[in-house]
A and B are shown apart, each in its own frame.
Chain A
Amino acid sequence: MKTEKKSLNVPVNKQGLKKKRSFSRKAIYTLLILLTLISIVPFYMMIINATRENQAILGGFSFLPGSALIENYRTMMDYVNIWNGFKNSLIVSVSVTVLSGYFSALTAFGFAVYEFKGKNLLFIFMLLMMMVPGQLGLIGFYELNNAIGTLDTYIPLIVPAIASPFVVFFLRQYLSTTLHPSLLEAARMDGAGELKIFHTVALPIMMPAVATMSIFTFIGSWNNYIVPLVVLFSPEKYTLPVLMGFLKGSQVATNLGSMYLGIAISVVPIMVAFLFFSKYIISSISAGSIKG
Chain B
Amino acid sequence: MKKLNHKGYYFIAPFFAIFLVFNIYPVLLTFYYTFTRYEGYGKPEFIGLENYTRILTDGYFLEAFINTWKIWGLNFALQLGIALFLAALFSDLRYRIKGIGFFRAVFYLPNLITISSVAILFNIMLDWQHGSINMFLMKIGLISDPINWLNEPATAQISVALILTWMWFGYTFIVLMAGVSGIPGELYEAALIDGANRWQTFVHITLPLLKPIMLYVMITSLIGGLQLFDLPMLITDGLGAPEGSLNTMVLYLYNQAFRYNNYGYAATIAYALFLITVLFSVVTFRSMYRTNAKKEG
Contact residues of A with B, CB < 8 Å?
Answer: 2, 5-6, 9-10, 13, 17, 21, 24-25, 28-29, 32, 35-36, 38-40, 42-43, 45-46, 49, 57-58, 60-61, 103-104, 106-107, 109-111, 113-117, 119, 122, 126, 129, 131-144, 156, 159-160, 162-163, 165, 168, 194-195, 198, 219, 222-223, 225-226, 230, 240-242, 244-245, 247-248, 256, 259-260, 263, 266-267, 270-271, 274, 278-279, 281-282, 285-287, 289-290, 292
Contacts and interface: CB of A to CB of B under 8 A. Distances in A.
A83 to B, nearest CB: 15
B112 A219 contact: yes
Nearest to B265: A139
Nearest to A260: B124
* B contact patch SS: helix
A248 B123 contact: yes
A60 B134 CA distance: 10
B178 A106 contact: no
A159 B15 CA distance: 11
B33 A271 contact: no
A13 B192 contact: yes
Per DSSP, chain A at the interface is helix
Which 8 pairs across A and B sit closest by C-beta, in order of nearness? A110-B11, A114-B8, A140-B29, A140-B26, A137-B26, A286-B178, A61-B135, A163-B19
B15 A42 contact: no
Nearest to A163: B19
Given A133-B274, A163-B19, A259-B120, A39 B28 contact: no
B11 A114 contact: yes
Contacts of A122: 12, 16
B132 interface: yes
Given A115-B2, A248-B234, A271 B258 contact: no
B95 interface: yes
Interface stretch (B98-106, B147-155, B200-208, B283-291): B98-106
Contacts of B174: 282, 285-286, 289
